[in-house]
C-alpha cells in the first residue's frame, strides 16, 4: 500500500514542480521510510517550501490538547516560517491572508483517526477556504482511516452545535479518509478550491492498517486508542477522567467518586457487542483529577467488527452519571472556543443525549433517530468515495 505521500515521492513531486508551497503537517507526515514531508519538500528539486502550518498540537506535536501554540515561529531544521493554526480564538484556526502571500499551493498531509471530534479535518477545511480566497491550489496527500472505511456510526451534528469538534454535519464515526472528506466538503460546503487529492494506492474499504502507527496527537498513542475514541472522547464533556495523564488515554476512565467493580459489573451486564470491561484504578499525572486515585474500568475490545464505539461510550458515561450521583458533573467551562453550549452537547452534536441521561431514559432512547441520520449521510459517503 502506498500512501499519498509515497506516491508523490515516487513521482518526484511532479505535481508541485515550479511551485512555492505551504505544508500543513504534524509528526505523522512521513513517508514509508519515515522521512518527514518537511524534509522531502525542502530537498525536492523544482519545489520551494515557503511556509509550514501547524494544526492543534503544533507542527512537531508537542502541545497538549486545547493548548494554544505560538502564532509565528521558525522551523528548527529548515528555517522555514511556521504559522500556528490553533491559537486562543476561533479565528486563529484559519490561515491569515498575509501568510499565504507568495505561495502557489497548500499541501495537507496529516493522519486523521476517523472520528468527527478529531480537529485535523476542520483545520483542512478552513485552510481550503483560505486557499480558495487566495486562489491557491490545495493538495491532500491521502492516508488510510486507521479504524477503517467500512463502518459508520452516530448522528449528524445539529446546526446549533457546530464547533471545532463538529464543524460540519458528519457522523461520529464517518468511515472516510481525509481526501474523501476534502472532496465532500469542497462541493457540499461550496468551498470551491482547486482541489487535488493524491489517493492511497492499494487501499480498499475493507483494508486493514498495515503501517507503523505514529501518534497523531499526544493522547492518541495506539490504534486501540483510535478505535475507542469515537465514544470515549465524550468524557471531555464531563468531570470523569478519560485517562489523560496515563499511558492508555480513552481506553480507561474513572473518577475518585466511582467504584471500579461496580462500574465494570454495571457495564458488563449490558452485554455491549465486542467489548468487555475490566475494573481498574489509575492516578492521572495531569488534567482532570491530577494526583488523585481514580476508580473505573478499562475497555477491552474483543471483536473490532462488532464493536460500536459510540454506543459503548454513551453507555460508559450513562453508567458514570447513574453511579456517580451528585458527584458527577458536566463540564461547565468554555470548550473549543464555545462558551454558551455545554461541551457534552457539542461533542454529541445534540442535547438529546444529555437530556436523556438527566431524564433517566434507557440507552436505546438516547440514540433515537441516529440511524436515520446516518442513512441520510450514506449517499454522500458513496458519492465522494475514492476506494472500492
pLDDT for 359-373, tens place per residue? Answer: 999 999 999 999 999
| 139-162 confidence digits (pLDDT tens) | 999 999 999 999 999 999 999 999
pLDDT of residue 58: 81
String of DSSP letters for 336-368: TTB-SS-HHHHHHTSSHHHHHHHHT--HHHHTT
**pLDDT over 80 (residue 318):** yes
H or E stretch covering 197: strand 194-198
Where helices occur in 101-142 by DSSP H, the ranges are: 120-134
pLDDT bin (cut points 50, 70, 90) of residue 65 is low
CB 44 within 8 A of CB 13: yes
pLDDT of residue 75: 87
CB 73 within 8 A of CB 59: no
pLDDT of residue 62: 64
The pLDDT of 316-341, averaged and rounded, is 96
Question: Residue 321 and residue 315: Cα distance in Å, rounded?
Answer: 10
Q: Which residues, including other chains, have CB under 8 Å from residue 229's CB and lie 6 or more apart?
A: 113, 115, 117, 118, 220, 250, 309
H or E stretch covering 317: helix 309-324
**pLDDT over 70 (residue 203):** yes
pLDDT of residue 74: 86
Domain ranges of the chain: 4-211, 223-368
CB 198 within 8 A of CB 14: no
Q: Which of 255, 306, 311, 305 is nearest to 284 (CA)?
A: 255
307's grid cell:
464493536
pLDDT of residue 358: 98
**pLDDT over 80 (residue 66):** no
Question: Which 3 state secondary structure label does DSSP give 25?
Answer: coil
Q: Which residues, including other chains, have CB under 8 Å from residue 56's CB and lie 6 or more apart?
A: 63, 65, 66, 69, 85, 86, 119, 120, 123, 217
DSSP 33: T
Helix axis angle, 178-188 to 120-134, nearest 10° = 50
Question: Residue 373 and residue 186: Cα distance in Å, rounded?
Answer: 21
| 222-243 confidence digits (pLDDT tens) | 999 999 999 999 999 999 999 9
The pLDDT of 120-136, averaged and rounded, is 98
**pLDDT over 70 (residue 205):** yes
**pLDDT over 80 (residue 194):** yes
pLDDT of residue 226: 98
User: Of the CATH numbers 1.10.3080.10, 3.30.420.40, 3.40.50.12170, 3.40.47.10, which one belongs to the domain with range 4-211?
Assistant: 3.40.50.12170
Question: Residue 88 and residue 4: Cα distance in Å, rounded?
Answer: 32
Main-chain dihedrals φ then ψ at residue 20, nearest 5 degrees: -100, 120
Domain 223-368 carries which CATH code? 3.90.1150.140
Burial status of residue 179 (CB atoms within 10 A of its CB: 0-12, 13-18, 19 or more):
buried
| 27-58 confidence digits (pLDDT tens) | 999 999 999 999 999 999 999 999 999 999 88
pLDDT-above-70 percentage for the chain: 97
11's grid cell:
513521482
pLDDT bin (cut points 50, 70, 90) of residue 67 is low
pLDDT of residue 1: 96
pLDDT of residue 160: 96
pLDDT bin (cut points 50, 70, 90) of residue 70 is low
| 234-282 confidence digits (pLDDT tens) | 999 999 999 999 999 999 999 999 999 999 999 999 999 999 999 999 9
pLDDT bin (cut points 50, 70, 90) of residue 63 is low
- Output the pTM of the full model: 0.96
Average pLDDT of the chain to the nearest whole number:
96
CB 4 within 8 A of CB 32: no
181's grid cell:
472528506
Amino acid at each position: 500500500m502506498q500512501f499519498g505521500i509515497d506516491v508523490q515521492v515516487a513521482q518526484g513531486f511532479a505535481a508541485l514542480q515550479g511551485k512555492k508551497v505551504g505544508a500543513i503537517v504534524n509528526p505523522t507526515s512521513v513517508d514509508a521510510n519515515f522521512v518527514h514531508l518537511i524534509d522531502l519538500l525542502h530537498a525536492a528539486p523544482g519545489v520551494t517550501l515557503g511556509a509550514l502550518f501547524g494544526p492543534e498540537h503544533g507542527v512537531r506535536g508537542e502541545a497538549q490538547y486545547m493548548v494554544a501554540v505560538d502564532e509565528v515561529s521558525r522551523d528548527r531544521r529548515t528555517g522555514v516560517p511556521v504559522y500556528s493554526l490553533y491559537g486562543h480564538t476561533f479565528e486563529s484556526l484559519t490561515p491569515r491572508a498575509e501568510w499565504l502571500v507568495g505561495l502557489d499551493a497548500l499541501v495537507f498531509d496529516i493522519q486523521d483517526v476517523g472520528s468527527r471530534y478529531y480537529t485535523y479535518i476542520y483545520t483542512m477545511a478552513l485552510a481550503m477556504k483560505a486557499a480558495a480566497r487566495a486562489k491557491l491550489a490545495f493538495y491532500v496527500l491521502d492516508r488510510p482511516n486507521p479504524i477503517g472505511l467500512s463502518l459508520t456510526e452516530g448522528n449528524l451534528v445539529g446546526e446549533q452545535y457546530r464547533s471545532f469538534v463538529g464543524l460540519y454535519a458528519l457522523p461520529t464515526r464517518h468511515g472516510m479518509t481525509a481526501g474523501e472528506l476534502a472532496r465532500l466538503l469542497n462541493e457540499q460546503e461550496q468551498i470551491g478550491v482547486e482541489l487535488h487529492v493524491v489517493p492511497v494506492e492499494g487501499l480498499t474499504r475493507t483494508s486493514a492498517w498495515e503501517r507503523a502507527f505514529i501518534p497523531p496527537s499526544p493522547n492518541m498513542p495506539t490504534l486501540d486508542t483510535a478505535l475507542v475514541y469515537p465514544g470515549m472522547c465524550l468524557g471531555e464533556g464531563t468531570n470523569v477522567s478519560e485517562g489523560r495523564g496515563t499511558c492508555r488515554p480513552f481506553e480507561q476512565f474513572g473518577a475518585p467518586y466511582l467504584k471500579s467493580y461496580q462500574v465494570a459489573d454495571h457495564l458488563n451486564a449490558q452485554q455491549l457487542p465486542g467489548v468487555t470491561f475490566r475494573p481498574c484504578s489509575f492516578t492521572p499525572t495531569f488534567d482532570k483529577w491530577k494526583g488523585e486515585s481514580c476508580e473505573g474500568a478499562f475497555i477491552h475490545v474483543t471483536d473490532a467488527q462488532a464493536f460500536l464505539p459510540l454506543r459503548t461510550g454513551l453507555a460508559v458515561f450513562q453508567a458514570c452519571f447513574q453511579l456517580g450521583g451528585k458527584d458527577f458533573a458536566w463540564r461547565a467551562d468554555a470548550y473549543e472556543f464555545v462558551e454558551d453550549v455545554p461541551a457534552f452537547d457539542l461533542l454529541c452534536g445534540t442535547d438529546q443525549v444529555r437530556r436523556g441521561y438527566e431524564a433517566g431514559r434507557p440507552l436505546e432512547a438516547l440514540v433515537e433517530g441516529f440511524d436515520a441520520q446516518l442513512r441520510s449521510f450514506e449517499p454522500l459517503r458513496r458519492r465522494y468515495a475514492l476506494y472500492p
